[in-house]
């Protein structure tokens, strides 16, 4: 279950979960961890609930979610990897973690967190921003402008639930020595929607939203080119896609 940075857990908990799931196909695993862990058994259980460190009211809160009294409204703030070697610190080698000769080299640049997985085309177990609900949602009516992105979110299920639409931008690279991640989170909203209810969401985009740091100039700058837009329920859920151009450039198609 643990990744390298999570420390050793007592006993073979992965094997225990697999055995319990084999006996009961409706097994739900509740994780109380401080970070992402390996979940080789994820496909064997009915659900996984990431509770993190929930505090003294954990029992009441978890019971309300597990029994369906409330909709789970949280979303993952980190990526859960498939393999230990996929995590950014492991992929960077010993110089990056744990360091060599008491020196740690931060060689990942801007490819931190979920950006590392995207840039290296690594499929996560659970992506950044992921989270399920007891209902379902659809995304539609995407309108993309340089100053804003709009989308309509609709509860398509039979009960009230929480949706967290997320906006990601893929910025063009101004030069070969200034790489950009495939996508960067630029906005999100938390919506509580009744069955059949829709909400129009506007994600404002400022110059800062489009800017990259020019180390030579010591300033934020906006690169000319095509900016790719993705809106969905996680960093890997590209429910809607669009684009817009800056600096006199044009987008293909």
Residue 17: enclosing H or E segment and its boundaries?
helix 13-23
Q: pLDDT for 174-189, tens place per residue?
A: 999 899 999 999 999 9
Residue with tokens 């450039």: 249
pTM summary value: 0.91
- Nearest-CA neighbor of 185 among 150, 234, 226, 117? 234
Percent of residues in the chain assigned helix, strand, coil, to nearest 5: 15, 30, 55
Q: Name the pairing type of β-strands 28-31 and 47-50.
A: parallel
pLDDT at 197 over 50: yes
CA dihedral 123, 126, 132, 138 (to 10 degrees): -20
User: What percent of the chain has pLDDT above 70?
Assistant: 96
Three-state secondary structure call for residue 64: helix
Q: pLDDT for 106-118, tens place per residue?
A: 888 899 999 999 9
Q: pLDDT for 125-182, tens place per residue?
A: 999 999 999 999 999 999 999 899 999 999 999 999 999 999 999 999 999 989 999 9
Q: How far apart are CA 169 and CA 107, in angstroms?
A: 23
């Amino acid at each position: 279950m643990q990744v390298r940075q999570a420390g050793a857990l007592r006993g073979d908990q992965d094997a225990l979960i697999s055995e319990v799931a084999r006996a009961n196909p409706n097994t739900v695993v509740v994780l109380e961890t401080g970070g992402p862990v390996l979940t080789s058994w994820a496909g064997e259980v009915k659900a996984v609930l990431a509770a993190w460190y929930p505090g003294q009211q954990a029992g009441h809160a978890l019971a309300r979610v597990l029994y369906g009294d409330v909709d789970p409204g949280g979303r993952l703030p980190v990526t859960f990897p498939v393999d230990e070697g996929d995590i950014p610190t492991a992929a960077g080698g010993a110089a990056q973690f744990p360091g060599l000769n008491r020196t740690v080299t931060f060689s990942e640049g801007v490819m931190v967190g979920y950006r590392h997985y995207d840039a290296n085309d690594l499929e996560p177990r659970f992506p950044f921003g992921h989270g399920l609900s007891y209902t379902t949602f659809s995304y539609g009516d995407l309108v993309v402008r340089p100053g804003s992105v709009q989308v309509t979110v609709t509860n398509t299920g039979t009960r009230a639930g929480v949706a967290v639409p997320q906006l990601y931008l893929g910025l063009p690279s101004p030069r070969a020595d200034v790489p950009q991640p495939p996508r960067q989170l630029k906005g999100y909203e938390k919506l509580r929607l009744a069955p059949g209810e829709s909400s129009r969401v506007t994600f404002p985009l400022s110059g800062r939203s489009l800017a990259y740091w020019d180390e030579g100039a010591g300033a934020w700058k906006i690169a000319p080119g095509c900016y790719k837009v993705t809106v969905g329920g996680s960093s890997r859920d590209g429910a809607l896609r669009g684009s817009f151009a800056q600096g006199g450039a044009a987008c293909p198609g």
